[in-house]
Amino acid sequence: MRLHRCAEIGCHELIKLGFDYCDKHYRLRMNSYHARLKQSEALQSKTLRGQHDKTLHDRQYNETVRPELGHEFYRTKQWKRISEYIKQRDMYTSSVDGRVYGKGDLIVDHIIPRRLLNTMAEEYDVSNLWLLTKAQHNHKTAIENKMSDNKLKHLSREWWLNVLKD
């Protein structure tokens, strides 16, 4: 196997042909690249052109992607009212860890996923709704995606509490 030295000045690490940098310097360069990219995006979002481009992207996303995902349900007036009611009912407290969070830090979530409910009344049923933080909601969604629909229909609030607390 043919080897050559890392392209980083002063590094004598031997690496395979086809690669320019050793793992250490590759990671350093990628981290630096991502930091510069993030900084560039932050600066661009402050310019009028950057704000205009972001608005166009968001508009296109909202018109094409969101309706396909079924997100229009969450923009209805009725959902917004029920969502606010659940937040006030639970006093902005996470159902999993019992901590109080700010208004934008909690998500009203269906215990039994909405796609498995048959009627609109079930979708708005307050006994099937609870408050989760964004991290808890993402964790729950990841678990739901790995489970069968038949099993998801029968999982209780207590089961989810035990799983999400771990």
pLDDT, tens digit, for every residue of 44-95? Answer: 888 898 889 888 988 888 787 776 667 788 888 999 999 999 999 999 999 9
Model pLDDT, residue 63: 80
Are residue 65 and residue 26 in the same domain, yes or no? yes
Alpha-carbon torsion angle 66, 67, 71, 76, nearest 10? 130
Name the domain boundary from 22, 39, 69.
69
Q: Check whether residue 38 and residue 96 sit in a common domain.
A: no
* 80 shares a domain with 39: no
This prediction has a pTM of 0.60
Q: Which domain holds residue 158?
A: 75-165
Residue where a domain terminates, one of 30, 53, 69 = 69
Q: Each residue of 92-138: pLDDT tens digit?
A: 999 999 999 988 899 999 999 998 999 999 999 999 999 999 999 99
Indicate the number of domains in the chain: 2
Per-residue pLDDT, 68: 63
**What pLDDT, on the 0 to 100 scale, is given for residue 166?**
76
Residues 6+ apart with CB under 8 A from 34: none
- Domain end call among 23, 54, 69: 69
Instruction: Give residue-wise pLDDT tens across range 23-52.
Output: 999 999 999 999 998 888 888 888 898 889
User: DSSP labels for 51-83?
Assistant: HHHHHHHHHHHHHHHHHHHTGGGGGSHHHHHHH
Question: In this structure, are 44 and 30 located in the same domain?
Answer: yes
Are 154 and 104 in a shared domain?
A: yes
Same domain, 28 and 46: yes
Q: Is the same domain home to 65 and 125?
A: no
Q: Write the CATH number for 99.
A: 1.10.30
